């Protein structure tokens, strides 16, 4: 009986918005697509050109940029759907799979960036730490396998026979099951959050107490503090709403009939917010790597936007050097 009620509820909420053109979704996805495409392509070019000075942290960030690029390439499909409400269900499932894999891939990779910086600063002389950091490529391979493998059931085998599927507005049947939800909240979100908080605390403590770190030209305390706050902000802004909404949907349990369309809509908005990480992750690259700041001329990036293309006052301002 619960499945019938849930089906009718999903169908009713879908019909309420079927004829609408959701300007918010279209506008946000379009903005993320433009910004994410430009910034992540730029990041990939910068990282791959620095083969000689590539650090272990850069390996994680390169993989993060590639994952974000995959995500932004699916956003035109979401823009088209939210404007026309028509799109192949198979395309929707593939785009949803990429979003979910990117979400947890970003969570794990952001955690690795924070952890790598923490151990590098807190244990600079440890040979065991140096050897462990060299395994960054293997860690990235493991993250790709884990996130793709764990995401497949949600969009390919999670649905039950006879369920209505409405592309990006489908109800997350599989994701709110107890086993899947527990795994997502504990392994996919909770543990990485704890690691990031502990590592952030360790970094701040290290740079505040260590004179060597504060005076070392290779480790800038202000840069590390900005990296810490940026990582945590991106993590919480992008991924907390989605996992909160999964918990809310699961909390209804046998009271699906009380589930309002506004709650289901809030879940879909939380997925939209999760897509923001594709355009916010480059902030991590900017604050974390000296090479990225030196190679990327932010004045040129700013002028790429249409609103600023004619704002130049003709003055020749100094630019960042093009060599490291």
Q: What is the arithmetic mean of pLDDT over 84-92?
A: 81
Residues 175, 96: contact at Cβ < 8 Å? Answer: no
Specify the DSSP class assigned to residue 160. P
Give the contacts of 247 (CB within 8 A, at least 6 positions apart): 181, 185
Q: How do residues 223-249 score in pLDDT, each as one tens digit? A: 667 778 888 888 999 999 999 999 988
The answer on pLDDT for 274 being more than 90 is yes
Q: How do residues 246-270 score in pLDDT, each as one tens digit? A: 998 888 765 666 677 788 888 889 9
Q: Which domain holds residue 279?
A: 2-301
Q: How do residues 43-78 score in pLDDT, each as one tens digit? A: 888 888 765 556 788 889 899 999 999 999 999 999
What is the per-residue pLDDT for 194? Answer: 95
Residues 71, 276: contact at Cβ < 8 Å? Answer: no
What is the per-residue pLDDT for 155? Answer: 62
Examine residue 317 and state whether it is found in any structural domain, yes or no. no
H-state helical runs in the chain: 2-17, 23-49, 56-84, 89-122, 127-133, 136-152, 178-183, 191-209, 211-215, 221-252, 261-275, 277-288, 290-295, 298-303
The answer on pLDDT for 299 being more than 80 is no
| Banded model confidence at residue 300, pLDDT cuts 50, 70, 90 | very low
The answer on pLDDT for 119 being more than 50 is yes
What is the per-residue pLDDT for 229? Answer: 82
Examine residue 171 and state whether it is found in any structural domain, yes or no. yes
Examine residue 315 and state whether it is found in any structural domain, yes or no. no
What is the per-residue pLDDT for 16? Answer: 62
Examine residue 146 and state whether it is found in any structural domain, yes or no. yes
The answer on pLDDT for 317 being more than 60 is no
Tokens 């609103």 sit at which residue? 307
Domain count, the chain: 1
CA distance 312 to 14: 47
What is the per-residue pLDDT for 4? Answer: 43
Measured from the Cβ of residue 304, the count of other Cβ atoms closer than 10 Å reads 12
What is the per-residue pLDDT for 187? Answer: 92
69 or 289, greater pLDDT: 69
The answer on pLDDT for 122 being more than 60 is yes
Q: How do residues 155-187 score in pLDDT, each as one tens digit? A: 665 444 444 567 777 777 777 888 888 989 999
What is the per-residue pLDDT for 56? Answer: 80
The answer on pLDDT for 133 being more than 80 is yes
Residues 58, 267: contact at Cβ < 8 Å? Answer: no
| Banded model confidence at residue 302, pLDDT cuts 50, 70, 90 | very low
* DSSP assignment of 9-56: HHHHHHHHHTT---HHHHHHHHHHHHHHHHHHHHHHHHHHH-SSS--H
Q: Is 73 exposed, middle or buried (0-12, 13-18, 19+ CB in 10 A)?
A: middle
Interaxial angle between packed helices 261-275 and 2-17, expressed in degrees from 0 to 180 and rounded to the nearest 10: 70
Q: What is the arithmetic mean of pLDDT over 288-294?
A: 56
The CA-based angle 13-243-285, given to 5 degrees, is 120
Examine residue 230 and state whether it is found in any structural domain, yes or no. yes
| CATH number of the domain where residue 244 is located | 1.20.1070.10
What is the per-residue pLDDT for 293? Answer: 54
Does the pTM exceed 0.85? no
pLDDT > 90: what percent of the chain? 27
Examine residue 313 and state whether it is found in any structural domain, yes or no. no
What is the per-residue pLDDT for 253? Answer: 64
Specify the DSSP class assigned to residue 188. I
The answer on pLDDT for 301 being more than 70 is no
Examine residue 319 and state whether it is found in any structural domain, yes or no. no
The answer on pLDDT for 30 being more than 50 is yes
222 or 141, greater pLDDT: 141
99 or 47, greater pLDDT: 99
Examine residue 324 and state whether it is found in any structural domain, yes or no. no
């Amino acid at each position: 009986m619960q499945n019938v009620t849930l089906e009718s509820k999903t169908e009713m909420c879908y019909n309420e918005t079927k004829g609408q053109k959701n300007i918010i979704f279209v506008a946000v996805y379009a903005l993320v697509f433009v910004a994410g495409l430009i910034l992540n392509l730029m990041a990939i070019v910068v990282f791959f050109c620095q083969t000689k000075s590539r650090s272990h942290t850069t390996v994680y960030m390169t993989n993060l940029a590639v994952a974000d690029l995959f995500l932004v390439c699916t956003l035109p499909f979401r823009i088209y759907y939210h404007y026309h409400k028509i799109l192949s269900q198979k395309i929707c499932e593939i785009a949803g799979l990429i979003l979910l894999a990117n979400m947890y891939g970003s969570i794990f990779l952001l955690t690795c960036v924070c952890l790598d910086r923490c151990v590098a600063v807190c244990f600079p002389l440890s040979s065991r730490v140096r050897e462990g950091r060299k395994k960054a490529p293997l860690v990235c391979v493991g993250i790709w396998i884990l996130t793709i493998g764990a995401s497949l059931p949600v969009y390919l085998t999670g649905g039950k026979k006879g369920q209505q599927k409405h592309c990006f507005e489908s109800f997350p049947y599989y994701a709110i099951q107890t086993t899947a939800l527990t795994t997502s909240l504990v392994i996919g979100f909770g543990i990485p959050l704890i690691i990031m908080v502990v590592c952030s605390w360790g970094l701040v403590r290290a740079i505040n107490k260590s004179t060597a770190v504060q005076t070392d030209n290779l480790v800038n305390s202000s840069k590390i503090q900005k990296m810490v706050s940026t990582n945590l902000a991106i993590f919480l802004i992008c991924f907390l709403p989605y996992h909160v909404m999964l918990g809310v949907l699961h909390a209804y349990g046998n009271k699906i009939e009380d589930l309002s369309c506004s709650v289901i809509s809030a879940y879909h908005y939380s997925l939209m917010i999760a897509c923001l990480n594709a355009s916010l992750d480059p902030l991590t690259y900017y604050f974390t790597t000296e090479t990225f700041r030196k190679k990327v001329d932010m004045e040129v990036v700013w002028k790429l936007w249409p609103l600023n293309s004619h704002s130049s006052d003709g003055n020749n301002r100094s630019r960042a050097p093009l060599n490291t």
